[in-house]
Structure 1
Amino acid sequence: MLKITGLEKLQKELKEAEQALSELDGELGVVNFDPHDPASIEAAIQSVNRMIDSRVEPHVDNPIVGSLADQMKDSYRENILQKAAEARLQADEDK
């Protein structure tokens, strides 16, 4: 007979992940930045990171939640950098 252990822990982690995802659903907030100012761009990225961290804080020790939060932070970071680059290109074209 095969005995499987750890299912309770996994179920708990999945339930916490579900709760954390519901906290992240919808609008996190609004960030504004100057696409020509690297410090402003970085501040916007850090602001989004704090927004995500505050939403998942109750589940910070959950490895699933931590991984999802890191992926979201990376995604938002890339999105902000892309928007800044697009705005700079548009400004150059408008000259």
Structure 2
Amino acid sequence: MAKVMELYQMRRQVEDACRAFRSLDRELAKISLRPGDSAGLEAAIRQMEAAIDRKVAPFRGNRFVEPYIKPLKDKYCAAILEKAAAGKGEPGAS
């Protein structure tokens, strides 16, 4: 009976992980950057991290979701920093 419960719990975690990943596959947040605005850059990164945290909040502790949260935040942080360095934070910026 214990093995059946373990399998049930694992199945539930996998289903929850699928829901979590689907929610992360949508737009997380709209972030705008101004070239040279370091405070705005930090705020944009915090906004992105908060958006991810909100999306995964119902799935915290899920062993299939938890390992992806920090790498996902790191990926988006790097993208924000890259866009800021390239001056592409605002529409029409080059």
The alignment partner of 1:63 has SS state of coil
Higher alpha-carbon Rg: 1
Instruction: Quote the sequence identity (%).
Output: 34
Please tell me the root mean square deviation across aligned C-alpha atoms, in Å. Answer: 2.3
TM-score w.r.t. length of structure 1: 0.76
What is residue 91 of structure 1 aligned with on the other side? none
Contact 2:35/2:87 (8 A) holds in 1 = yes
Partner of 2:76: 76
1:7 and 1:74 map into 2 onto residues whose CA distance is 32
Superposed displacement of residue 50, structure 1: 0.6
Deviations 1:51-76 (A, max 9, x none): 11111110111132122222211110
Q: What is the number of residues matched between the two proteins?
A: 86
How many Å separate the matches in 1 of 2:86 and 2:48? 19
Gaps of 5+ in 2: 89-93
Question: Which residue does 1:63 correspond to in 2?
Answer: 63
Partner in structure 2 of residue 54 of structure 1: 54
1:17: which partner in 2? 17
